[in-house]
Amino acid sequence: MNVDITDLKTVRLSQDGSAVIILDQTCLPGSEVYVSLSSAEEIWEAIYRLKVRGAPAIGIAAAYGIYVCSRQIAANTYGGFCSEFLRIKDYLASSRPTAVNLVAALDRMEKVVVAHSVNPVPEIVELLRVEAEAIRAEDAAACRKIGENCLSLLRPGMGILTHCNAGHLAVSEYGTALAPVYLGEERGYGFKVFADETRPLLQGARLTAYELQKVGVDVTLICDNMASAVMRKGWVQAVVVGCDRVAANGDTANKIGTSGVAILARYYGIPFYVLGPTSTIDLNCPDGDSIVIEERNPKEITDMWYASRMAPEGVKAYNPAFDVTPHDLITAIITEKGIAYPPFRLEDF
């Protein structure tokens, strides 16, 4: 590898702890711009507008974010601190509904506040910083293990198709779906990656193609509707995707279009792997029908990315950000704890 991808810092805490620093992904691939977020509104907006995105990355951003905001709470009593903390927590949690990591990270931060009700407020704030750093460190360790576990299923020279961006830019380090690609690259596997462009926000074109090309991985960009043609040619031996919420029965929400790729993979007899940390498994959610799917502004389909509007004025447009892949189309769910095959017993993780 000619470049170390971890030189890109997707999300981190400023040295003095007063701000969350994110790589603004809406500026990629044009320029690598870091922005500093120090108010709840700025953090909420960055998550909502996908300046920081990807299930684990928004969890980490929210954890750092609520720490940064907690430092600013002007309350001397535990009760006063706690009620303001909970108000900010609910506000940040409302930025995006589908990825469970966002709420899970904020819940972890709340547990710290609840467990230390007898401590002085400044000590609680310091413990929040420690917890946020732990969430980030655990994610980095999990990603590496996910990569190792998936790599055990792959062979040198394979063609690998991926959808959206579940790479370094979506997590702390390396990615989930792209972690085996990075590890394979380090070990001379010579994978050939096909990146779906991923309409409408183009996470595949702007982000996956960018980060893989940057480190010298053999990556080919295709439009979403080309996946079938590429599979038919025999160029794809495995599909790897990330996840935003995995229900208890294995049904998986991920970027819109993922379920179509799973159907194609089944048709062509290609294994379809879902990769994610156990923090993305939601055992309280029985199945895919119970997952709330974010709907976004239709302008993302009709106007964004075009020099001029690309659809008739007033036309109805439906813009769900995610879809659910039924568990019976998934070959394996790969986490840091191991590989689950059907029937998925995710409670064992």
Radius of gyration in angstroms for the set of CA atoms belonging to the chain, rounded to a whole number:
20
CB of 215 to ligand MRU, least distance (A): 17
Residue among 53 and 108 whose Cβ is closer to ligand MRU: 53
* 251 given a catalytic annotation: no
DSSP letter at 93 equals H
Residue 2 CA neighbour count, 13 Å, CB half: 8
Residue among 54 and 180 whose Cβ is closer to ligand MRU: 54
Its sign, for the CA torsion 242, 243, 247, 253, is negative
Q: Is 203 annotated as a binding residue?
A: yes
Q: How far apart are CA 98 and CA 54, in angstroms?
A: 11
Residue among 121 and 166 whose Cβ is closer to ligand MRU: 166
Report which residue's Cβ sits closest to ligand MRU. 242
CB of 254 to ligand MRU, least distance (A): 5
Q: Is 87 annotated as a binding residue?
A: no
Q: How far apart are CA 345 and CA 349, in angstroms?
A: 8
CB of 278 to ligand MRU, least distance (A): 13
- Residues near 42 by beta carbon (within 8 Å), at least 6 away in sequence: none
Q: Name the strand (E) or helix (H) holding 253.
A: strand 252-255
Q: Is 187 annotated as a binding residue?
A: no
Residue 275's φ and ψ, nearest 5 degrees, are -120, 130
CB of 67 to ligand MRU, least distance (A): 22
Catalytic residue among 16, 218, 224, 244: 244
Residue 284's φ and ψ, nearest 5 degrees, are -80, -10
| Chain positions contacting ligand MRU, by CB under 6 A | 50, 53-56, 99, 164, 166, 170-171, 175-176, 203, 242-244, 254-255, 321
Q: Is 15 annotated as a binding residue?
A: no
For the annotated binding site for substrate, the residues are 53-55, 96, 203, 254-255
For the annotated binding site, the residues are 53-55, 96, 203, 254-255
**Residue positions annotated with a catalytic role:** 244
